[in-house]
């Protein structure tokens, strides 16, 4: 629980400025605030709580398709078996993920292995969420 509280505090600080320019996730049936409106600390804390709970749903055994409901891909170097992902609402909150490929790698017409990401690849390892500036390429 203490780690969750520390992660929430760090995420609040890192994503706070970015989120101030963006409306928080609306509760079901509740309209989202207008763009550019300020977010109060209670709303920001609520957002961090929601985001952390979403991130915790992805554990080893989940598929790449399930992971992509919470995260999106990050720029930078990656392979079919390892990639960095960012939370959909905060590009500074990241996880590194290792996968077991769903199918054996196929060879292309030149005999080289063709490793492709597939929705049914399985997460074998996922890091704790961490904060880092965005990588774009």
User: Is 7 among the domain residues?
Assistant: yes
Q: For residue 112, tell me if it sits in a domain.
A: yes
Higher pLDDT, 47 or 71: 71
| Domain of residue 79, residue span | 2-27+34-131
Average pLDDT over residues 7-33: 51
On the question of pLDDT at 10 being above 80, the answer is: no
Please state the separation of Cα 56 from the chain's center in Å: 10
1-11-97-111 Cα dihedral, nearest 10 degrees: 180
Q: Is 103 exposed, middle or buried (0-12, 13-18, 19+ CB in 10 A)?
A: exposed
Is residue 53, in this structure, part of any structural domain at all? yes
Residue 80 lies in a domain: yes
The pTM (predicted TM-score) of the whole model is 0.70
Q: Which of 71, 118, 121, 63 is closest to 96 using CA atoms?
A: 71
Confidence of residue 27 (pLDDT cuts 50, 70, 90): very low
* pLDDT reading at 94 higher than 90: yes
Q: Which three-class secondary structure state does DSSP give residue 124?
A: strand
The 10s digit of each residue's pLDDT in 97-127 is 999 998 876 777 787 777 889 999 999 999 9
Residue among 55, 51, 42 nearest 127 (CA): 55
| 15 pLDDT tier (thresholds 50, 70, 90) | low
| pLDDT, greater one: 90 or 17 | 90
Please provide the average confidence, as pLDDT, over all residues in the chain.
81
Q: In this structure, is residue 136 part of a structural domain? A: no
* pLDDT of residue 20 exceeding 50: no
Q: Is 15 inside a domain boundary? A: yes
The reported pLDDT for the residue numbered 16 is 53
Q: What is the pLDDT of residue 84?
A: 97
Please choose, from the candidates 53, 48, 49, the residue with its C-alpha nearest in 3D space to the C-alpha of residue 15.
48
The number of distinct structural domains making up the chain is 1
């Amino acid at each position: 629980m203490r780690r969750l509280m520390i992660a929430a505090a760090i995420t609040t600080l890192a994503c706070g400025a970015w989120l101030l320019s963006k409306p928080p996730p609306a509760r079901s049936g509740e309209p989202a605030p207008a763009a550019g409106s300020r977010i109060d600390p209670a709303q920001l804390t609520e957002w961090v709580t929601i985001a952390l709970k979403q991130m915790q749903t992805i554990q080893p055994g989940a598929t790449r398709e399930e992971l992509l409901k919470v995260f999106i891909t990050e720029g930078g170097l990656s392979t079919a078996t390892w990639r960095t992902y960012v939370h959909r609402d905060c590009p500074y909150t990241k996880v590194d993920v290792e996968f077991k490929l769903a199918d054996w790698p196929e060879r292309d017409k030149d005999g080289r292995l063709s490793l492709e990401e597939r929705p049914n690849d399985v997460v074998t390892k996922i890091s704790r969420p961490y904060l880092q500036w965005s990588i774009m390429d």
